[in-house]
Amino acid sequence: MSPDEHRAQRREAPEPEEGDRGIPKIVMVWIVVLLFWGVGYYLWQIGKPMLGGDSRSVPVQVVASTEGGAAAIDGGVIYNANCSACHQATGLGIPGAFPPLAGSEWVIGDPAIAVSIVHDGLQGAINVAGGSYMGVMPKFGGNLSNAEIAAVLTHIRSEWGNQAGAVETSLVDEHVTRFAERGPWSEAELISTFGKP
């Protein structure tokens, strides 16, 4: 065997090995930083109104006519444009996520309660028609006029088998005078202010 026979083998570089320099430290640091950022951002967003991530506000798709008050506004149109994405066209909501309006004690009870929820928003745990929910409902005061809020409430109180009376614009006016710009309600605050529906 001549020494040249193993020249090819001798030329080979040794198999590369990672040793203890597997993943560069800077990459590990980045992974940890991104993980904290992602989880932190998620936690930071809890309880904030859902704006679809792009900061658009709910468009006012219905031009309000205050002449003739709530009766002149089609509450069904306002419902489809502003509420049905979450509470669904059927008024049944989505189990576990969005509570039903059909058969809801909060909708057909004291109308001042429903006015409060829609004008100011609602968050935290709430029991609706025997189910429990934990979400955030955006406020509509400012996006919808008082007459539009009255019209959409009149609509949901008389749809899907609900049989409760119409809501007058004056009730929404009274709400604004009494509570001004308060934050979102919770179930406990609604009960302590208006009583259990």
141 is an interface residue for ligand HEC by CB under 6 A: no
| Closer by beta carbon to ligand HEC, 64 or else 136 | 136
124 is an interface residue for ligand HEC by CB under 6 A: yes
Among 70, 101, 147, 172, binds ligand HEC (CB under 6 A): 101
Residue 3 vs residues 6, 8, 10, 87: alpha-carbon distances, Å: 6, 11, 10, 84
171 is an interface residue for ligand HEC by CB under 6 A: no
| Closer by beta carbon to ligand HEC, 40 or else 131 | 131
For the CB of residue 140, give the shortest distance to ligand HEC in the complex, in Å.
Answer: 5
For residues 87 and 101, what is the distance between their CA atoms, to the nearest angstrom? 7
- Tokens in use for 165? 């009376």
| Closer by beta carbon to ligand HEC, 40 or else 142 | 142
Contact residues toward ligand HEC (CB under 6 A) are: 50, 82-83, 85-87, 98-101, 104, 106-107, 114, 117-118, 122-124, 126, 128, 133-138, 140, 152, 156
